[in-house]
Structure 1
Amino acid sequence: MAVSFHSRSNSYPSRQHPQAAHVDEQLTRLRSFEAASSSSICQRFSNLQDLHDSLEKMISLSVTNQVLSQDQIEKLLDGSIKILDLCNIAKDSLSQTKESLKEIQSIVRRKRGDLSAEVKKYLASRKFLKKSFQKVLKSLKTGQNKNNNALAVFGEAETVTIALFETIFSFISGSKACGKWSVVSKMISQSTVTCEAEANEFTIVDLEFQSDKSLKVENVQILEACIQDLEDGIESLSKSLIKYRVSILNI
């Protein structure tokens, strides 16, 4: 970035600005948010979109960009691109799962094709995604920006945003409570009901495909609707992140 920066104070007066107070309120709300379902995750996406819209306005304040050094700006850019990468990982995984579900439904509807082979393909894809998510989640444990006075509010925003992606990757992977259930375990109906009560939309379909029960198309359709909602939330957040990143680049 071909810009020279003068020595600046470590204090952060913009934190007292009404826009900063608004950001603080949004951060407090997001930190207390518990996402246990697709609807609550989507609500968190909406709140995060609002947060980054506010950060984009805050970054434009002269008092904000006066207090940020070039090194700090670079850290903000690195953080924003890391989160955009997480958005792309989540979008790709959801798109892949949705396409597999469409193929399975097509076979069921046309009553032609090898349903068993397609289900095995779907389950293999799910297994690969879970391993990929484990690697991503492990990488998220390191390398987050250390907060200082000037970066505090932005660092906190990055932390709560990454926390959402930890949640969504775990959600897409399926409920941990049902992790013990597998194709090698013949499910007793009572146990299956108990497990499904604890499961989310992804796990319910996984369990169904792994068992000897008949395929419930309605469960697949519910999962597709869930995926669409998540995709919409991620797309909206991505757009806000891009605007936020452009504002940082404009400093």
Structure 2
Amino acid sequence: MAISFHVRSNSFPSRLHPQAAHVDEQLIRLRSSEEASTSSSSSICKRLNNLQELHQSLEKLIRLPATQQALAQDQNKATEQLLDGSLKILDLCNISKDTLSQMKEYLKEIQSILRRKRGNLSGEIKKYLASRRSLKKSFQKVLKSLKVKQDLKCIDESLAVFGEAEAISMNLFDSLFYFMYGSKTCSKWSLVSKLINQKKVSCEAQANEFTKVDFEFQSEKTLKMEDVQVLESCIQDLEDGLESLSKSLIKYRVSILNIIGQ
């Protein structure tokens, strides 16, 4: 279950270790980016980068004697929950990376067919859309498990940052999920053809790289090579950000495991 440390209303006291103050600053920056963030690939990638840097800092923080002492006072319950929560976030990273990689390969094949003007375009589009459905199902399953909270009260306020980091991570993957699948209005592409032209223009105006190509896939005649290329580039950027985050999470988990093994 995900850890449910109480969210702090104030920053760390200045008397705490500088690393703790640095983590606090990063959390403030990430919370601000959540509030100001637009649904664009650049904003998602920036948040992924910030989250990766946060976990690098958390890995350093968790190795401090004061942090380990606070965790030990809870008889490793909080430590085990941190380990469990970080594993689920790592699962989201891996699920996202694997499926995005698969989607990218299908997009490459679609581009090849468009260039050669021959081949089974419909078949490749079906494979691509199937990979998106697979990612959606996996995302929902893991996100649901992350939202299950255990009622555990921390005995040390300094440990709250780890719970906050987990919550921020979950929010980012929520944002990534909705970025990839669009709003409820624009995600039901089977109904688009039934809407009046003005409504279709409004829906397309809200589209991002993913939903725009989804829309074009409904009618192969409107499919544009440049839009597929832009989406492929977007996927590559997301993959890079997820890969960096994944590496930081692995190091973070190793430090948590070292505490349990002491």
Distance 1:184 1:44 in 2: 32
**Residue range with higher mean Cα deviation, 97-106 or 30-39:** 30-39
* Seq. identity, %: 70
- Counterpart of 1:40 in structure 2 is 43
Which amino acid letter does the alignment assign opposite residue 19 of structure 2?
Answer: Q
Q: Check whether the contact 1:140–1:162 (CA below 8 A) recurs between aligned residues.
A: yes
- Counterpart of 2:84 in structure 1 is 78
Distance 1:100 1:132 in 2: 19
Structure-2 change in CA distance of 1:127 and 1:203 (3 Å) = same
What CA deviation, in whole Å up to 9, does each residue of 1:10-47 have, x standing for no partner? xx999822211111111112122234111001110111
Structure-2 change in CA distance of 1:212 and 1:60 (3 Å) = closer
For residue 171 of structure 1, report the CA deviation from its aligned partner: 1.6
Please state if 1:139 is matched with 2:142: no
Structure-2 change in CA distance of 1:109 and 1:126 (3 Å) = same
Structure-2 change in CA distance of 1:212 and 1:96 (3 Å) = closer
What CA deviation, in whole Å up to 9, does each residue of 1:92-145 have, x standing for no partner? 221121111111111112222121222233233333433333333333321467
- Counterpart of 1:63 in structure 2 is 66
Structure-2 change in CA distance of 1:190 and 1:13 (3 Å) = closer
- Counterpart of 1:113 in structure 2 is 119
Distance 1:145 1:91 in 2: 32
**Residue range with higher mean Cα deviation, 213-222 or 113-122:** 113-122
Residue 16 of structure 1: SS of its match in structure 2?
coil
Query: Following superposition of structure 1 onto structure 2, how do residues 119-158 of structure 1 map, counting pairs within 5 Å?
Result: 119-143=125-149, 146=152, 148-150=154-156, 151-158=159-166
Please state if 1:228 is matched with 2:248: no
TM-score (norm 1): 0.86
- Counterpart of 1:19 in structure 2 is 19
The match for 1:218 among 210, 215, 226 is 226
Distance 2:105 2:213 in 1: 14
Q: Check whether the contact 2:192–2:200 (CA below 8 A) recurs between aligned residues.
A: no
How many equivalent pairs are there?
Answer: 240
TM-score (norm 2): 0.82
Distance 2:235 2:171 in 1: 19
Distance 1:126 1:154 in 2: 31
- Counterpart of 1:9 in structure 2 is none
Structure-2 change in CA distance of 1:224 and 1:100 (3 Å) = same
Q: Check whether the contact 1:183–1:211 (CA below 8 A) recurs between aligned residues.
A: no
Higher relative contact order (CA 8 A, sep 6+): 2
For residue 187 of structure 1, report the CA deviation from its aligned partner: 6.0
Distance 1:228 1:45 in 2: 13
**Residue range with higher mean Cα deviation, 97-106 or 170-179:** 170-179
Please state if 1:165 is matched with 2:173: yes
Q: What stretches of structure 1 of length at least 5 have no aligned partner?
A: 1-11
Please state if 1:99 is matched with 2:102: no
Q: Check whether the contact 2:181–2:187 (CA below 8 A) recurs between aligned residues.
A: no
Residue 250 of structure 1: SS of its match in structure 2?
helix
Q: Check whether the contact 2:33–2:47 (CA below 8 A) recurs between aligned residues.
A: yes
For residue 188 of structure 1, report the CA deviation from its aligned partner: 5.3
The match for 1:179 among 169, 174, 187 is 187
Distance 1:182 1:144 in 2: 40
Distance 1:212 1:47 in 2: 38
Which amino acid letter does the alignment assign opposite residue 16 of structure 2?
Answer: Q
